[in-house]
Chains A and B, each alone.
Chain A
Amino acid sequence: QVQLLESGPGLVRPSETLSLTCSVSGTSLSRYYWSWIRQPPGRGPEWIGHIHYLGTTTYNSALMSRVTISLDTAKNEFSLKLTSLTAADTAVYYCAQYGSYLYWGQGTLVTVSS
């Protein structure tokens, strides 16, 4: 059974960089796309971007200047970096496997606050 588990800091200061990792078990990263999605409090999900198993990345145009998604097939994990954080980046961050539909991790809450 495929499992995805997000890890990273729960609290980040404004202007700093968020780094999250998604550990994948039960499948290899050498298929599909691997996505990051976030959900701010009280709002719907927002797609951040994804990386193809061959390394091609696609990002939400609203976040493109601040986002980097990378893949580590040796560790079977992929990562998100989001720079220049503000309070508006406070959200539950999910990683997911993306074929046509999404297979989600359970998410991790990230709060941006001083």
Chain B
Amino acid sequence: HSVLSQPPSVSGAPGQRVTISCTGNGSNIGAGYDAHWYRHVSGSAPKLIIYENTKRALGVPDRISGSKSDTSVYLAISGLQAEDEAHYYCQSFDNSLSGAVVFGGGTTLTV
């Protein structure tokens, strides 16, 4: 199982807002390590959308945002569009596992 926990799926109607959670613990997100979010469409490279918890990657619209609270980070997408349908993964670093990059299990967004 994945070190970071994400809901397997979320859905929303066009124009609505959805939030995807990513929950870790005191050895990763809770220890202050940054988390990042990727958008992935099968067959292509996963693409960075949010880095360092809250910063939007180049070209990402401002209807997509990231936040952090304690041991969790959140990805919010408002004004849902059909093109937002994808898999979303969070990633961080864990100091209890030798130099480990850790991931969430992924969330499938259906619009």
From A35, A59, A102, B36 is in contact (CB under 8 Å) with: A102
CA distance A102 to B90 in the complex (A): 11
Q: Does A106 contact B (CB under 8 A)?
A: yes
Given A60-B100, A61-B97, A44–B2 Cβ distance below 8 Å? yes
B53 to chain A, nearest CB (A): 11
B109 to chain A, nearest CB (A): 15
Closest partner residue, chain B, to A107 (CB atom) = B45
From A35, A37, A100, B34 is in contact (CB under 8 Å) with: A100
Q: Residues of B contacting A4 with CB < 8 Å?
A: 45
- Per the 8 Å Cβ criterion, residues 4-26 of A in contact with B are 4
Q: CB within 8 Å of A: which residues of B?
A: 2, 6, 34, 36, 38, 43-48, 51-52, 89, 91, 97-106
